């Protein structure tokens, strides 16, 4: 399972890192290298927030032209799937991406 992210140069000293699959999952960094280094942390914060708020964790979508992605281990993938199934069966799921 791969979640794609985008790094966009804003100006000479700022780079925006964002995960298109997660509304609001974005941060600003001083360099492209720093943004890549912090990508996993931004991803984990986005997932944790959705766990805590009983929101659906989106399955990864393909981002045309994106060269950057995070590989999610199989055990974490299973946790995401179980979370989504549990929330759906309880009827408590909130999909913030729709």
Q: Which residues of 21-53 are buried (b: 16+ CB within 10 A; e: fewer)?
A: bbeebbbebeeeeebeeebeebbeebbeebeee
State the average pLDDT over residues 54-80.
Answer: 87
Q: Please calculate the CA angle 43-48-53 and round it to the nearest 5 degrees.
A: 130
Judge residue 5's burial from the number of C-beta atoms within 10 Å of its C-beta, 0-12 exposed, 13-18 middle, 19 or more buried.
buried
Residue 94: what pLDDT? 55
If pLDDT is split at 50, 70 and 90, which confidence band does 98 have? very low
Task: Compute how many other C-beta atoms are within 10 angstroms of the C-beta atom of residue 67.
Answer: 9
**Least confident segment among 46-50, 52-56, 74-78, 87-91:** 87-91
Mean pLDDT, all residues of the chain: 88
| This model's pTM is above 0.85 | no
**Domains detected in the chain:** 2-90 (3.30.160.250)
């Amino acid at each position: 399972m791969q979640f794609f992210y985008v790094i966009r140069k804003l100006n000479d000293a700022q780079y925006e890192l964002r995960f298109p699959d997660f509304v609001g999952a974005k941060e600003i960094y001083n360099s492209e290298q720093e943004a890549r280094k912090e990508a996993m942390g931004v991803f984990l914060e986005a997932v944790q927030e959705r766990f805590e708020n009983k929101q659906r964790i989106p399955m990864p979508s393909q981002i045309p032209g994106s060269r950057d992605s995070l590989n999610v281990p199989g055990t974490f993938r299973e946790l995401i799937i179980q979370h989504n199934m549990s929330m759906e069966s309880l009827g408590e799921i909130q999909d913030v991406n729709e």
